[in-house]
């Protein structure tokens, strides 16, 4: 990396000489009050940082820091904002200007019983078809967990040889028919490449600054961008990169784009858990199975992470550049003072840190002073979310890659990212945000000043570059909460309404009931709900417990993992009211089933249709017999509805495939 720093020092705007990286962070915390409503920001001033503080505010999701709340004299270390309301959240930026033109930055999203959006988010689960059968149980558990968290899950299996354009078409089609929010790539789904990186003056340098590591880099962000005209494959002609995958010539399927800012925008949370091309670490199917089991254990409380962070910065200041100030800022917003500076391997073996950040001179498979891929995979490391920074391993599609190896630790490794060029800001996770939403914000983040209004967050080099990517499940959050919930949905006697019941969960603030795109906040004493407007089809109801979560950024309502069930009710306003609900009492054997099942009634079954819990038809057959055999081998594990219709009469039964 050193040669790069000599070439570009003149581009830097901070003076890091003689300063520790953490002094370039304003480490914010917040305390909140309901009566009267207020947010009090506080921060610790290091002994050598005595500059003026500028306090800004914006609405989360916007880009400009349009409100300058205060300019505070040196020595003041807190500010109270009384222009707030309970139920909302607010994002703050504190900038400190010290002598010598040194600038420090801090970010925090604060809330007073902040209530995240109640809307049901849609997620596309793109699964490597190689895992359809061997990991059917784990995939079904993943689908169930996502559903219990309030996601509407759309699952598509794709072949490893399916090209990028075909995968993008699948995503585009679903986005056009649903309000798609996220894409979770599981396995070796086609990897887009893009870039014109070249270590020559006047060209965009490779993000890690190495002349032989230019050309195109892996670019999953392409799957979240939809202005196809800017993703050209016509102009870059560079065969100099040492790694063949980075070579980029016209018409080779690799794009020319370097930055999405000003060209396109990422609109989807995207994360990838891909354990192929890791021959030193093990079989990709088994590694994928381990990862899915770990994530399930984390979401359901079997893996508990301590709410604290560890930073091991072996780069410190290089020239005028520092790599960890955004991490110091984010960790303060999430963990307060529970931040450790220490050796990465030593500390993560002792404690299950929620977040870690390690920096060191790197190779594709190592970071000096941090770890190599084998150590991350084999040692008893207990990190949850991890940032890593150094040369080469930001090119995450490489063999035995360090970033992807971070997800293979038996006791940790939920998500990872290459943070330093640019910085990753994840402070919204203290208010319940997903790691995927933070990734999307960083992909779109660029900082500039327009007519004295600051836009974006400080980013260091390569803001909005196509290489910014998340390894792991994009739906992961910092404070998973899970309760044992027995949710039962039943149709009433006259088949016009559905009733949903559940068990009482001690200690919750209430429940969130989701019915497709509709959501209802219920009190802690509620244990049932009647759907008086049930449509004439099977409907899935999800009930989630709500906890009041307190963090160093304030308080918010945390929608935990709950339970779900489906029911069918006729609706008198629809044509199916003329149907007699009972052809016969259907029976299914075996139930649960694996690859086949027998459906039996007392009269001829007629048309047999199998639906998933979201109302998608997955199988249909016709018979004149009272019994029929169904081949289920093409279906993933989960809950399905089998319906028989004959001469305007119908009956249905719920089955489970394991």
pLDDT: which is higher, 580 or 73: 73
Phi, psi at residue 393, to the nearest 5°? -75, -5
Q: What is the pLDDT of residues 83-107, one digit of tens each?
A: 999 999 999 999 998 877 789 999 9
Helix (H) or strand (E) holding 458: none
Contact yes or no for 138/293 (Cβ under 8 A): yes
What is residue 403's predicted lDDT score, i.e. its pLDDT?
A: 97
pLDDT surpassing 60 at residue 262: yes
pLDDT: which is higher, 575 or 127: 127
pLDDT surpassing 50 at residue 579: no
Task: State the alpha helices, DSSP H only, in 242-299.
Answer: 284-299
Render 506-535 in DSSP notation, one character per residue: TT-SEEEEEETTEEEEEETT--EEEETT--
Residue 232: closest CA among 213, 251, 206, 215: 251
CA distance 534 to 540: 11
- Range in 342-346, 513-517, 654-658 the model is least confident about: 654-658
What is residue 49's predicted lDDT score, i.e. its pLDDT?
A: 67
Confidence of residue 163 (pLDDT cuts 50, 70, 90): very high
pLDDT surpassing 80 at residue 10: no
Taking residue 629's Cβ as centre, other Cβ atoms within 10 Å add up to 11
What is residue 593's predicted lDDT score, i.e. its pLDDT?
A: 86
Residue pointed to by tokens 């016509």: 234
Confidence of residue 387 (pLDDT cuts 50, 70, 90): very high
Segment 629-654 mean pLDDT: 80
Specify burial of residue 575 (Cβ count, 10 A radius: 0-12, 13-18, 19+).
exposed
Confidence of residue 17 (pLDDT cuts 50, 70, 90): very low
Residue 553: closest CA among 656, 652, 405, 429: 429
- Residues 6 or more apart whose CB falls under 8 angstroms from that of 351 comprise 306, 308, 310, 382
- Report field, pTM of the whole predicted structure over 0.85: yes
Q: What is the pLDDT of residues 486-506, one digit of tens each?
A: 999 988 866 778 999 999 999
pLDDT surpassing 90 at residue 642: no
Render 450-515 in DSSP notation, one character per residue: ETTEEES----SSTTBTT---EE-TT--SS--B-----EEEE-TTSS-EEEE----TT-SEEEEEE
pLDDT: which is higher, 576 or 282: 282
Residue pointed to by tokens 């979240």: 224
What is residue 570's predicted lDDT score, i.e. its pLDDT?
A: 64
Q: What is the Rg, in whole angstroms, of the alpha carbon atoms belonging to the chain?
A: 26
Token readout for 447 is 């900082």
- The per-residue pLDDT of the chain, averaged, comes to 90
pLDDT surpassing 90 at residue 322: yes
What is residue 297's predicted lDDT score, i.e. its pLDDT?
A: 95
Confidence of residue 569 (pLDDT cuts 50, 70, 90): confident
What is residue 398's predicted lDDT score, i.e. its pLDDT?
A: 97
CA distance 127 to 158: 6
Segment 561-567 mean pLDDT: 88
Q: What is the pLDDT of residues 280-301, one digit of tens each?
A: 999 999 999 999 999 999 999 8
What is residue 576's predicted lDDT score, i.e. its pLDDT?
A: 30
What is residue 48's predicted lDDT score, i.e. its pLDDT?
A: 66
Segment 115-139 mean pLDDT: 93
Helix (H) or strand (E) holding 416: strand 415-418
Query: Percent of the chain at pLDDT above 70?
Result: 93
Segment 582-598 mean pLDDT: 78
CA distance 428 to 553: 9
Question: Angle at CA 578, nearest 5°, toward 577 and 579?
Answer: 90
pLDDT: which is higher, 9 or 226: 226
What is residue 447's predicted lDDT score, i.e. its pLDDT?
A: 87
Confidence of residue 47 (pLDDT cuts 50, 70, 90): low
Segment 311-322 mean pLDDT: 93
Specify burial of residue 145 (Cβ count, 10 A radius: 0-12, 13-18, 19+).
buried
- Residues 6 or more apart whose CB falls under 8 angstroms from that of 35 comprise none
Kindly give the pairing relationship between strand 366-367 and strand 371-372.
antiparallel
Helix (H) or strand (E) holding 594: none
What is residue 483's predicted lDDT score, i.e. its pLDDT?
A: 85
pLDDT: which is higher, 485 or 433: 433
Domains of the chain: 2-115+305-472 (2.60.40.10), 488-568 (2.60.40.10), 579-657 (2.60.40.3080)
pLDDT: which is higher, 398 or 410: 398
- Range in 108-112, 197-201, 309-313 the model is least confident about: 197-201
Of the ranges 12-26, 284-298, 475-489, which is most confident? 284-298
Q: What is the pLDDT of residues 513-556, one digit of tens each?
A: 999 888 999 999 999 999 988 887 778 899 999 999 999 999 99
């Amino acid at each position: 990396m050193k040669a790069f720093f000599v070439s570009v020092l003149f581009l830097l705007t901070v003076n890091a000489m003689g300063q520790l990286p953490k002094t370039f962070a304003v480490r914010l915390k917040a305390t909140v009050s309901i009566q009267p409503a207020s947010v009090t920001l506080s921060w610790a001033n290091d002994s050598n940082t005595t500059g003026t503080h500028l306090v800004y505010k914006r609405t989360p999701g916007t880009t400009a820091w349009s409100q300058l709340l205060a300019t505070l004299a040196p020595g003041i270390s807190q500010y109270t904002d009384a222009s707030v309301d309970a139920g909302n959240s607010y994002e703050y930026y504190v900038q400190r200007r010290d002598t010598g033109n040194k600038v420090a930055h801090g970010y925090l999203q604060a809330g007073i019983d902040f209530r995240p959006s109640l809307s049901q988010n849609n997620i596309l689960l793109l699964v490597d078809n190689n895992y359809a059968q061997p990991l059917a149980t784990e995939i079904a558990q993943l689908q169930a967990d996502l559903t219990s968290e309030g996601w509407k899950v759309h699952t598509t299996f794709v072949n490893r040889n399916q090209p990028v354009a075909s995968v993008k078409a699948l995503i585009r089609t679903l986005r056009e028919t649903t309000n798609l929010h996220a894409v979770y790539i599981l396995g070796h789904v086609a990897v887009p490449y893009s870039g014109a990186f070249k270590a020559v003056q006047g060209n965009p340098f490779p993000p890690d600054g190495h002349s032989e590591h230019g050309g195109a880099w892996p670019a999953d962000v392409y799957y979240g961008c939809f202005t196809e005209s800017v993703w050209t494959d016509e102009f870059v002609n560079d065969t100099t990169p040492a790694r063949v995958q980075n070579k980029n010539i016209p018409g080779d399927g690799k794009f020319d784009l370097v930055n999405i800012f000003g060209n396109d925008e990422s609109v989807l949370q995207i994360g990838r858990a891909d354990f192929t091309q890791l021959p030193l670490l093990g079989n990709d199917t088994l590694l994928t199975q381990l990862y899915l089991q770990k994530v399930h254990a984390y979401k359901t409380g079997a893996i508990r992470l301590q709410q604290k962070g560890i930073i091991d910065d072996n780069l410190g200041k290089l020239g005028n550049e520092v790599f960890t100030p955004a991490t110091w800022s984010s960790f303060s917003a999430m963990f307060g003072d529970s931040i450790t500076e220490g050796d990465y391997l030593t500390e993560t073996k002792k404690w299950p840190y929620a977040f870690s950040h390690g920096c060191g001179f790197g190779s594709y498979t190592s970071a000096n002073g941090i770890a190599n891929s084998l150590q991350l995979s084999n040692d008893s490391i207990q990190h949850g979310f991890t940032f890593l920074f150094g040369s080469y391993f930001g090119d995450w599609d490489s063999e035995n890659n360090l970033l992807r190896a971070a997800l293979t630790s038996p006791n940790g490794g939920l998500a990872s990212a290459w943070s330093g060029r640019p910085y990753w800001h994840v402070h919204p996770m203290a208010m319940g945000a997903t790691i995927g939403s933070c990734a999307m914000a960083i992909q779109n983040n660029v900082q500039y000043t327009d007519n004295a209004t600051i836009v974006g967050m400080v980013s260091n080099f390569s803001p909005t570059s196509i290489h910014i990517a998340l390894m792991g499940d994009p739906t992961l959050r910092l404070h998973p909460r899970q309760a044992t919930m027995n949710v039962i949905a039943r149709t009433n006697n006259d088949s016009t309404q559905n009733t949903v019941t559940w068990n009482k969960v001690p200690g919750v603030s209430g429940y969130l009931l989701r019915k497709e795109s509709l959501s209802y906040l219920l009190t802690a004493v509620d244990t049932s709900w009647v759907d008086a407007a049930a449509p004439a089809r099977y409907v899935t109801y999800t009930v989630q417990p709500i906890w009041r979560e307190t963090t160093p950024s304030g308080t918010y309502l945390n929608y935990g993992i709950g339970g779900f069930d489906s029911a069918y009710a006729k609706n008198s306003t629809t044509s199916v009211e003329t149907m007699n609900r009972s052809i016969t009492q259907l029976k299914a054997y075996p139930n649960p089933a694996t690859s086949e099942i027998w459906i039996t009634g007392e009269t001829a079954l007629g048309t047999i249709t199998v639906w998933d819990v979201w109302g998608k038809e997955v199988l249909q057959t016709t018979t004149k017999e009272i019994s029929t055999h169904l081949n289920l081998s093409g279906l993933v594990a989960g809950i399905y509805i089998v319906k028989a219709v004959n001469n305007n009469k119908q009956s249905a039964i719920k089955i489970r495939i394991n």
